[in-house]
Amino acid sequence: MEHKILVDSCTDLPKHLKEDSRFKVVPLSLMVDDKVFVDNGEFNQKEFLKTMKESSNSPKSACPSPDDYLKEFNKEGDTFVVTISSELSGSYNSAELAKRLYLEENPNKNIGIIDSRSASVGQTLISMKIKELISEGHLFNDIIKKVNAFRSEMKTKFVLENIDNLRKSGRLSHLQALVANVLNIKPIMGGTPEGTIAKLEQARGITKALVTLAKTIERDVIKPNERILAIAHCNCIERAQFIKEEILKRVPFKDSFIVDTAGVSTLYANEGGIIVAY
């Protein structure tokens, strides 16, 4: 049976999954002032970072429409959709509406919408889990059950080098941002079980922040020998390699990979940001 795995473009896929015909990326749109960037295969990260830096306004994103998902459902076999956390975007709600509309005329179609309660490589790991379960021959309902269990144990954390977007969006006051910049304070953030974002710790300087991140992973990881370490970086490959080494010398993950951020993750992480999921 043919299967399809749809992911919104906050999912940072490694090259081999981008080239996998079973995967399809549904793009979000990004706006900085009056300039629009479509988060597809032609997204220009360098230009987007430059545009964000030059603007005094907060960048914004627009989720896919229900029709963007709906047109991808007209295929044989089961369809799985993985979206960025519903607490961060309307992508999940668009996919759910598309599913309801499609099932009105195609009631026997299996469509599973997975709210990742995460972002970036957290979505990637969920997508990879779906692919693994399909290859093992699991049926649709069993896949949904097992993926939800996987999601409940998965964790996503990130370290920000640049907090300009937090300041521009009003999530951080100008005074707080000034103090953080003067003292070189870097926040270590994490996803909550509900899919929101919480500050976990902070450290002075990016190197100390990354080491602190590695130590938090060492403390809370579950069955690392059965899990994959996924790292996304926003234009800072050396930093990504550093955090990978810091984590792997502490935790025996069964595998790991590094990817660069696409558009939505670039907006959230900003230049120098590191996102880790496991």
Distance (Å, whole) CA 41 – CA 49: 16
What pLDDT, in 10s, does the model give residues 95-146? 999 999 999 999 999 999 999 999 999 999 999 999 999 999 999 999 999 9
What pLDDT, in 10s, does the model give residues 1-22? 689 999 999 999 999 999 999 9
Residue-range domain boundaries for the chain: 4-28+63-153, 156-277
Distance (Å, whole) CA 187 – CA 273: 11
What pLDDT, in 10s, does the model give residues 16-71? 999 999 999 999 999 999 999 999 989 999 999 999 999 989 899 999 999 999 99
- Residues 210/241, Cβ–Cβ less than 8 Å: no
The whole-model pTM stands at: 0.93
Alpha carbon separation from 235 to 63, 134, 161, 270, 275 (Å, rounded): 24, 33, 11, 9, 12
| pLDDT score of 62 | 97
Distance (Å, whole) CA 210 – CA 205: 9
In 10 A of CB 11, how many CB atoms?
30
Task: Return the SS3 of 151.
Answer: helix
Say which CATH superfamily domain 4-28+63-153 falls into.
Dihydroxyacetone kinase; domain 1 (3.40.50.10440)
Distance (Å, whole) CA 143 – CA 112: 9
Q: Locate 146 and state its tokens.
A: 């097992």
156-277 CATH choice from 3.40.50.360, 3.30.70.120, 3.30.1180.10, 3.40.1160.10: 3.30.1180.10
What pLDDT, in 10s, does the model give residues 168-177? 655 545 545 4
What pLDDT, in 10s, does the model give residues 235-248? 999 999 999 999 99
Distance (Å, whole) CA 172 – CA 193: 23
pLDDT higher than threshold 70 for residue 182: no
Q: What are phi and psi of 236, to 5 degrees?
A: -150, 65
